[in-house]
Structure 1
């Protein structure tokens, strides 16, 4: 039944409990369990915080997977206070590198801690 449910989701490009109930003639709990399994085992279905399911096959799924991976690396790098790892993760996920702001002529802020302690 799982294969049939997955095929149905791809065919309709939608993932919902009602879709599976209606087309497969199954109950609410079974439909929910199938979608949970799809969300866990595939990139075609994602469960959003509201509890609904989102069909994410194709380019959007790939982008969401990359963003999820990048977010996990950001959290790990922040936990270990390692900015270099964040910069490396930007490259691994094909994100544009942030541009460093040009020094502002009107800014009187010191550039490093040595200058700050000397004043």
Structure 2
């Protein structure tokens, strides 16, 4: 991808980051319009911001999402926990107790039930995968 190979001045990066915070949005057209740059440079700036900060995330469709504040923290926690689940699944060594510990490290609540069976407050799709 061309945007990965474009050198970016730190001053331009700083201006782009300020714009993203000011508008609470992240898009190629936003940066093009306000910084008077082309689409490749705007894409390169957003890729760098997404790579170096938690302010912006690039989603599968190629669009960027402003994730500063609580939503960003929640997304980072969910991403971290999901990565641990995926690693456990890939290694074929799913240990429910380790996954419960991981859930706790990422701030998910783990209510204990009388029968000793605990459920983790994570999205249903992950809970079904690990059968917790």
Using structure 2 for the length normalisation, give the TM-score.
Answer: 0.72
Q: Alignment length, in residue pairs? A: 102
Aligned partner of 1:110 in structure 2 is none
Paired residue for 2:101, among 88, 92, 114? 88
Larger Rg: 1
**2: CA distance between counterparts of 1:101 and 1:41?**
44
**CA offsets per residue over residues 42-76 of structure 1, 9 Å max, x none?**
00000011100000000100111000000011112
Correspondence 1:1-119 to 2 at 5 A: 1-78=12-89, 79=91, 80-97=93-110
Residue 86 to residue 33, structure 1, CA distance change in 2 (3 Å): same
The alignment partner of 1:46 has SS state of strand
Structure 1 residues without counterparts, runs of 5 or longer: 103-119
**1: CA distance between counterparts of 2:23 and 2:81?**
30
C-alpha contact 1:77 1:83 (8 A) present in aligned 2: no
CA RMSD, Structure 1 to Structure 2 (Å): 1.6
Q: CA deviation at 1:101?
A: 9.2
Using structure 1 for the length normalisation, give the TM-score.
Answer: 0.79
Q: CA deviation at 1:77?
A: 2.2
Q: CA deviation at 1:82?
A: 2.2
**1: CA distance between counterparts of 2:58 and 2:114?**
38
Residue 43 to residue 28, structure 1, CA distance change in 2 (3 Å): same
The alignment partner of 1:96 has SS state of coil
